[in-house]
Structures are given as C-alpha cells and as structure tokens.
Structure 1
Amino acid sequence: MTRAPTPFSGRVIVGFDGSDHAVRALDRAADEAARRGTSLEIVCGWPWGKHPLPDFGVTDDTGKLLYSSARRMMDAATERVRDRAPQVAVSESLTTESAARALLRCGRDAALTVVGTRGHGGFAGLLLGSVSLRVAAHCTTPLMVVRGDNGDEHHRVLIGLESDADTDALHFAFQEAQRRACSLRVLHAWQYPAAPHGSHATSYHLTWDELEHLRKGAEAVAQYAVAPLRETYPDIDVHTDTVCQQPGKALVEASRNADVIVLAAHRRPRRVGLQLGPVTHAMLHHAHCPVVLVPVD
C-alpha cells in the first residue's frame, strides 16, 4: 500500500516581470488554471529596490514612473489572461517583497506555481538565476518551470522516478496525465556501481549473476511503484521504462517527446542552505519541455 499523497489545492500562481519568457510562463499558467478549474494570481516582486512604492508616501518622481509602468504591465498581463482563458478568475499582486520571497509566500497554498526560464528586473536570472533557484530549493508546493522551445504536442506526461519513495510526484504525474487526457511514461534511470579507486580497484568486479540481479532490481522499481496506482487511475495509459544510463542525460533526452516532465524535488541540506540535486539541475538547464518539481518531505 502506498502512502496517501500530500494534498495540493488552491489557485495557480505565476511570476511575471514583462519579459518574453515571463509572457510564455503567463500563457502556460493561464492554461494550467483553466485545466484545473482554479483561479490565477499574477505576482510581481517590486523590481526597483532603490525606488520604494509611492503608495508608502514616497514623492520620488522616478519611483512614481516606475510604479505606473509596473501597474500598466500587470494590467496588460491580466487582459492577456482574460483573452486567452476567459473562464479563469485572475488577480494581480504587485508587492514590495523580493520576487523569490513573494513567490514562496503566495505559493504556500497554491496548486501550482509557474515561472519562466529567465527574466530581468525583479526576476533577474529567472531561471537559471538566484531567484528561481531559491524558489525551486524552498517551494513547499509544486513548481512548474516553463522551458523548452518545441511547441509540438506529444500527448504524454513523463516522470523521472528515482525510487518508489517518490509517492507525491508519482501521484501528481498520474493526475497530470488525467487532466491532459494523455499517456504517462514512468522512467527509472540507473547505473551500475562504479569501481572504487585506489589499491583495491583492480580486484573489484561483479559476476554476471550479480549484474543480472542489479538489472532486474532496477526494472522492478517503476513497476512496483506504479502497481498500486493502476487501479486508482484505470483510464491512464501508463508505461514503465528502465534505462541503464546517467539519469540526467536519460531524462533530458526523454523530455524531447513529452509535454511536461515531473520530478520529485530532493533538496539536500548544505552549509549555504538547501541545494537541489544534480538531476534536477540538469533538467532545469536542459529539458526540452516544462519541468514540474514536486517537493519531497
């Protein structure tokens, strides 16, 4: 029996700064809100730190001009969403908080937070810069990073499964396939253990039986994880797949034929704070489709 997934509910959040990449994220966020039947909130952190919001009694003319520009930008974004998805209730938040802090705060009760691949102003380097990496490292609900330049639809959701402990991500992937009425590919990439270095390396080897045992164990990972969910989602056409390859490389290649890839966000504590794993970094930099990170407790 699998553990019940963490309940994700509420609205869709999108980080917006007016850049072309942010517009792509805005369009995707509108589609995601429509698909989920939820509202959409457009969030912009105040991007001009030395010019506080004039609402706070500041008389700086430059600050007023920048504020007016930001308001027009947000209003235009709202109109774009209404034209694209008129059934979606949309709101906008222009805040004095930093972009990362605003997205993390607003995303605490969100069904999904959406960001673009890079931007300017308040979302400098949005992705892969400090703002988006901070959101990815600290988000507590699913985060979608809109990347990839292939507009073709493949009618497939892809999930990179590290182990059968990625329960929340697997549930999310099934639900995403259900929302999109498409198939689901569950991919587990693994590698044979590397030979140790040093004086004992020459005596290190695995027998054929040991290698076969490792291969069969790897093949069982996705099959075992998916088995309990086939009954929960009987209408989903799900395929399990195992490849002996470096996981980041395997998932980047597989993302060419997917509409979205889902990953469990394994964050590891470091002296400088939480850090994303190498596979997650590879996907955020190189995936050919949007990437959804589902936080792991």
Structure 2
Amino acid sequence: MNAHVVVGVDGSASSLEAVELAAREAHLRGCGLKVVHAFTWPMMHVPLRPSPLGPPEGGLRNIADRMLAEAVEHARSTEPEVQVTSALITGEPLTVLEAQSRTATLVVVGTRGAGGFVGLLVGSTAVHLAAHSHCPVLVVRKQERPAQQVVVGVDGSPAGDAAVDFAFAEAALRGTPLTILHAWTLWNAPASELQDDGSAYTEPASNLQDSEERLVAQVLAGRTATYPGVVTEHKVVRSGAREALIQASKDAALVVLGARGRGGFTGLLLGSVSQALLHHAHCPVAVVRGSENKQ
C-alpha cells in the first residue's frame, strides 16, 4: 500500500473516534487506511496464548486480534469504499507510530487511550510524536459544535510553509473555507522593529499591524492560484498565539499548526502553546513538520 493513512488504536473509545476520522481522511484522499496496534506484551515476556485453565479464545494475542478486527470493521462501516488493512506490531507505541509515519501520508491518533496508547497525548509523549513524525499528525478531539472551516496558524517562517500547504490541500479536499490566522504582539513582531535596547518597538502599533497584514498576504501569494476553489479569509489579531488559536478552534472543523516557527509560534511544539492546543482545542488538531525539520 503506497499512499495511505495510518491510525493508532488500542480498543478505547478515543481510538475508535480516531478510526472514524482516519477513515474519512482516507476517503477524501482516495487512499487506503492502515489500522495499527502497538503490541507491547511480548516485550514484557508474558504468556500470550490462552491459559490451559481458561477459554480457548482467551489470551493476550487473541484479545489484541479481536480489538484490531473491531477497529477494522468500524472503519469499513464508516467508509465502505476505503480499503482497510491492519497490523499488530510488537513495540512501544511511539516507536511503532514513528516508524509507520515514514510511509504514511497522515497519522491519526486519539487524545486518550488504554493499553498500547496510554497517555499518548499527555505530557512529553505528545511532543515526541509531533516533533519526530515523518508525516502530518492529526490529533482527534471532540468538536463542541458543528463547523466546516479549516484554520491554519501562520507566522511567515519557512518552517510553517508545509502547514500552510497542508491546510490548503485539506480545505480543498473537504470543500470548506480556509481561515489563515496570524497572531502577533509587541514582543513577537520582527526583531528589526525593536529599539536598540530591545525593550520596545519604535514603530506605532498601527504600523506593525500593517506589517503583519503584509506577512499574511505573502503567505497567500501563489497558493490561491494553486487552489482556486478554496475560499480564504485571513485574520491578523493582536493577541498571544495560544489564546487566538484556542478561540479560533471553537468555530473550526480542524486547526493546522506548523511544528516550529518564529514570533508568536516559536517553539509551538516544545512548550506551553503546544500543550494548550493539544489539551484545550475545541476541534481536531493537525501538526505538520517542515521538510527542513525531518531527519
């Protein structure tokens, strides 16, 4: 299977939600879906076969096989036209998913899970997957109200170009509008605007607003011609990136973020902003790494 979407499952309700979204993403792309479970028990050297004293359908291996079969059936019932395969892979979840991301177009995971994906998006493990995946990572979060638009956070950095491209492509596949959001403050505008002592900006805030508007225009340049069917709206707000993105997620079907950037999005996947979005966004979140960040 060449182009395909990968979804990590562990039998939890959250992972089944991820299966649904992954099946829809595969359908939009016209590609296959691979359902993957990281089977950690062999690494612990525990018995995998049924106990002689228990039912023949028992045992950790049989439980894992049934869980995978349930996930596959769930995917097929969600999108019957999508070709679905499955894999039970021995290994630690993050290592398994990172390896799968090398040949996938998208990896989809739930926010919380059990078994193989316990705490996948809690703490440092979420940062690890977003920072090291070789393809975009889509984190499934409950949407508080129906929405159709895609939102992408931009900062004008080269590292963020891949996220913008992904957002345009996603909006085109979904047939939905795209909002390009840029958040700035007096402390994350270009450094050339700083006074010599770095304490404040010499330009009035109105001039900085104009400068930030031009930055977004540069992001749009060329892409609107590539995706003529995508209706775009750009928003330049004087606000912290974390607050602006969480607020925008309330009216979004998907928020797209770059792995790293400048200004308001610097260290997005290494600090408080990434944690805030992973834990508090009101819709699914896609994290896209630029090619210059991939190993």
| Same fold flag (TM > 0.5) | yes
Residue in 1 aligned with 2:102? 108
Query: How far 1:131 moved relative to its partner?
Result: 3.9
Query: How far 1:140 moved relative to its partner?
Result: 1.4
Are 2:15 and 1:22 aligned? yes
Q: Superposition pairs for residues 99-178 of structure 1, below 5 Å? A: 99-152=93-146, 154-165=147-158, 166-178=160-172
Q: What is the aligned counterpart of 1:232 among 226, 238, 242?
A: 226
Are 2:39 and 1:46 aligned? yes
The answer for unaligned runs of 5 or more in structure 1 is 1-8, 195-201, 269-273
AA of the residue aligned to 1:186: I
For 1:214-239, what per-residue CA distance to the aligned partner results, in whole angstroms no more than 9, with x for missing partners? 22111211111112111111111111
Are 2:173 and 1:189 aligned? no
For 1:34-54, what per-residue CA distance to the aligned partner results, in whole angstroms no more than 9, with x for missing partners? 111110111111143424574
Give me the whole-angstrom Cα distance separating, in 2, the residues matched to 1:43 and 1:244: 42
8 Å Cα contact 1:114/1:144 also seen in 2: yes
Give me the whole-angstrom Cα distance separating, in 2, the residues matched to 1:158 and 1:214: 23
Give me the whole-angstrom Cα distance separating, in 1, the residues matched to 2:232 and 2:5: 26
Tell me: CA distance 1:192–1:12, structure 2 relative to 1, closer, same or farther (3 Å).
same
8 Å Cα contact 1:164/1:225 also seen in 2: no
Report how many residues are paired. Answer: 272
Tell me: CA distance 1:277–1:225, structure 2 relative to 1, closer, same or farther (3 Å).
farther
8 Å Cα contact 1:123/1:131 also seen in 2: no
Residue in 1 aligned with 2:210? 216
8 Å Cα contact 1:252/1:287 also seen in 2: yes
User: Sequence identity, in percent?
Assistant: 37
Query: How far 1:132 moved relative to its partner?
Result: 3.5
TM-score, length basis structure 1: 0.84
Tell me: CA distance 1:44–1:151, structure 2 relative to 1, closer, same or farther (3 Å).
farther
The answer for unaligned runs of 5 or more in structure 2 is 189-196, 263-267
8 Å Cα contact 1:267/1:275 also seen in 2: no
Residue aligned with 1:192, SS: coil
Alignment root-mean-square deviation, CA: 2.7
Give me the whole-angstrom Cα distance separating, in 2, the residues matched to 1:59 and 1:216: 68
TM-score, length basis structure 2: 0.84
